[in-house]
Amino acid sequence: MLGIRFNSLQVGLLLASAATVNGQAKEGCLDRCEAVIIPYPFGTDEHCYLSPYFWVTSNHSSNPPKLLLGKPSPEGNNVQVLDISLEGELLILNYVSHDCYDSLGEADSLYSYDSYLKPGQFNISSTKNKFTMVGCDTFAWFKGQRGHESYRTGCMSICDNITDVQNGSCSRNGCCQTSIPDGLSAIDLTLGSFNNYSEIWEFNPCGYAFIVEESNFNFSSNDLRDLKSKTELPMVFDWALDKETCQVDVNDQTNNACKGNSTCNKRITGWGYLCNCSEGYQGNPYLEPGCQDIIECENSILNKCENPETCINTQGNYTCSCPMWYHGDGKIDGQRCIPNRLQMIHVAMGIGIALVVLVAGSTWLYWALKKRRFVKLKKKYFQQNGGSELRQQLSGQGSTERIKFFTSEELEKATKNYDESNIIGRGGFGTVYKGTLTDGRIVAIKKSKMVERIQGKGFINEVGILSQINHRHVIQLLGCCLETQVPLLVYEFINNGTLSDHIHDENKASAIMWETRLRIAIQTAEALYYLHCVASTPIVHRDVKSSNILLDEEYNAKMCDFGASRLVPLDQNQLSTAVQGTPGYLDPESLQTNRVTEKSDVYSFGVVLVELLTGKKALFFDRPKEQRILTIFFLFPLKDDSLFQVLEDCIVNNGNHKQILKVAQLAQRCLSINGEDRPTMKEVMLELEMIRMIGENAEQNPEENTYLLGESYAHYYLGGGESSIATHSMTGSFLLPVSDAR
């Protein structure tokens, strides 16, 4: 058990009164020690303090210097002062008492400090401090003097396990606290253990007791072991003048401790009194000439005038003036300035009428100008997006009746102001929204990306191309909108996603059987043949891929996304341009020559055929190196007669193997490195139609199928040329629906 006697000690910083000003110390006296201001009645020399109770020492033997309470002690046990407040509070350092034991229950270390402060002028603050004890096998109490009476209180804590302790809570599990009574001065503190911590030594070898400022201590379970490293904690100490009551003769400034423009106030707790500056004054009330007038008008916080410029300073106060036809104190927290109603009524009526006219006129003018600017802006965007050029182009093509120019308001309403919930796709050239027109039609609205003006011709190009196309397997363009910052295209809506969505999704792929895949391939080939050969000017799509093939509910195919497409003049069979497209589908010959032909689309279509056969993506970086490029992954097994090992299971199990083999061989020719070795889209379309007939005629006439897809058929593809196909007796049945276009 450890007994300790000490006086009130504290560490921390207290804010000085907002009224403090320079010159807190007596003239010729030290006014600060390092960062601590020393206001009178405190001082470091005999002529600098009011009485010996207020003697402080600036100790320069430490680095940095420390301010100590009282005259220097030979034992060096002076209390360090960190702040002195004229509001009657001292901020000092209070020692932490320890009671520690080793694992055998023997005393390990003891700390004791004797009191050197006498009761009277300085009391422990009852409002700021708490008596605190930390430990799981601990009890502590203190007794002290309250005037002529004795006082005793304390607390105890018992806990068997660290898990019983709650951080931040001094609720008698590892930590307990009790209040400090008013007017308490010197005290005796007793700290001890029930079992010398022998049963809980591993997590709590010590007990601790101290008086601390409540806001400066937050209990943690780590304190049960680590608090030993802390020797001092904050505590607040109250001070007052040594008079039991205020001076009666307030006019006797020589003997009255409270100087000019100040009041004497007895302490609510403890005894003695304090001096405070009167309202409207600031400074040190203990020093001549006393408190000084506050210039409220120059202080933005204290100046409460409705109009700060009307502030007039007076001794200890200020006034605010009101303008003509108003009365009152003019203060925000007072009466303010109140209008003289009878004098103001006519003025108010006149102003009101004028304001109504002004507001009405301004509103009309604002909306008129805004509408005019909006119309101009739409015209600007229309020209900027190539509207005039497009009208001229469509007029020359005779497509003005089929292509509608939508207004920006129509499409905003259709897409609910382009709400993200209506986004159905994103591509290299823009974002696609689902929208509902006023006539109930559901459409797809393509919003182009922000691009440089030189790239804006890609949009005009796409509209020009689509306006010429009229084919059942090519997406239909309904119209466009050029009144917005980025141009918009309006297409028919295909509601079943893309081919890529279906064949690359394990859950959807099995639903597309071989017959359906073959039909999709034929329909796509018809669309490309139409673009290459039937359109008024041949069109190279340049971005043929599975994600640009839309499917309706019956899995019919429609080509889309003509942002990269280009027209090929009739007298040319090649187009010199920057190669565009999607990695994995790009024609290797075009990449070398920087020239795009219809055979470039044939190569990309060959990749789509391989996707239909294998169900795999054109590029897939999660696969081994030799399988990352689909075309390479596909061609090797085809040469090694192990084709069916790389095909999709649902095709191998349910498809016609002859058809599958012929389609694979066709894909191989489409993927030839040399463009001249590839078939045309017309040849591809016809061969796919004949392959389809294998399944239709397999049971009825197997010998005819053998002829159709045997050596003679391969001969007229590779040797006879396109003209030999055109003269074949079966050609007409295939060409008729394609050339018919719809």
Q: Is 328 exposed, middle or buried (0-12, 13-18, 19+ CB in 10 A)?
A: middle
Identify the DSSP state of 305.
B
Element (H, E) at 677: none
Cβ atoms < 10 Å from Cβ of 646:
20
Half-sphere exposure of 483 (CA within 13 A, CB side): 16
Identify the DSSP state of 629.
B
Give one DSSP letter per residue of 12-73, joined into a string.
S--PPPTT--S--SPTTS--EETTEE--TT-BSSTTTSSSGGGBEEEETTSSS-EEEESSPP
Cα–Cα distance, 459 to 453 (Å, whole number): 11
Identify the DSSP state of 433.
E
In 660-726 the beta strands, taken as DSSP E runs, fall at none
Q: Are 520 and 557 in contact (CB under 8 A)?
A: yes
Q: What is the 3-state secondary structure (H, E, C) of 681-726?
A: HHHHHHHHHHHHHHHHHCCCCHHHHHHHCCHHHHHHHHHHHHHHHH
Token duo for residue 276: 């405070």
Token duo for residue 559: 């080509």
- Indicate the SS3 state at residue 99: strand
Torsion sign across C-alpha atoms 115, 121, 123, 125: negative
Which residues, 6 or more positions from 648, have their beta carbon under 8 angstroms from its beta carbon?
503, 509, 613, 614, 615
Q: Which of 543, 561, 587, 601 is catalytic?
A: 543
Which residues, 6 or more positions from 216, have their beta carbon under 8 angstroms from its beta carbon?
11, 12, 233, 234
Cα–Cα distance, 161 to 202 (Å, whole number): 10
Residues composing the chain? 742
- Indicate the SS3 state at residue 239: strand
Partners of 150 in the beta sheet?
Answer: 145
Q: How do the residues of the chain divide into helix, strand and coil, expressed in percent and rounded to 5?
A: 35, 25, 40
Identify the DSSP state of 719.
I
- Indicate the SS3 state at residue 124: strand
Q: Are 730 and 696 in contact (CB under 8 A)?
A: no
Element (H, E) at 715: helix 711-715
Strands 595-596 and 423-427: unpaired
Element (H, E) at 634: helix 630-639
Q: Closest Cα partner for 601 from 562, 658, 655?
A: 562
Angle, CA of 322, 328 and 334, to the nearest 5°: 110
Cα–Cα distance, 438 to 429 (Å, whole number): 27
- Is residue 447 part of an annotated ligand binding site? yes
- Indicate the SS3 state at residue 215: helix
The end-to-end CA distance of the chain, in Å, is: 105
* Radius of gyration for the alpha carbons in the chain, expressed in angstroms and rounded: 48
Tokens 């030594």 locate to 201
Element (H, E) at 714: helix 711-715
| Burial track 470-500 (b if 16+ CB lie within 10 A, e otherwise) | ebbbbbbbbbbbbbbebbbbbbbbbeebbbb
Is 543 among the residues known to form the active site?
A: yes
Q: What is the 3-state secondary structure (H, E, C) of 470-515?
A: CCCCECCEEEEECCCCCCEEEEECCCCCEHHHHHCCHHHHCCCCHH
Tokens 């190196």 locate to 625
Q: Which residues are annotated as a binding site?
A: 447
Q: Which residues are annotated as a binding site for ATP?
A: 447
Q: Which residues are the active-site residues?
A: 543
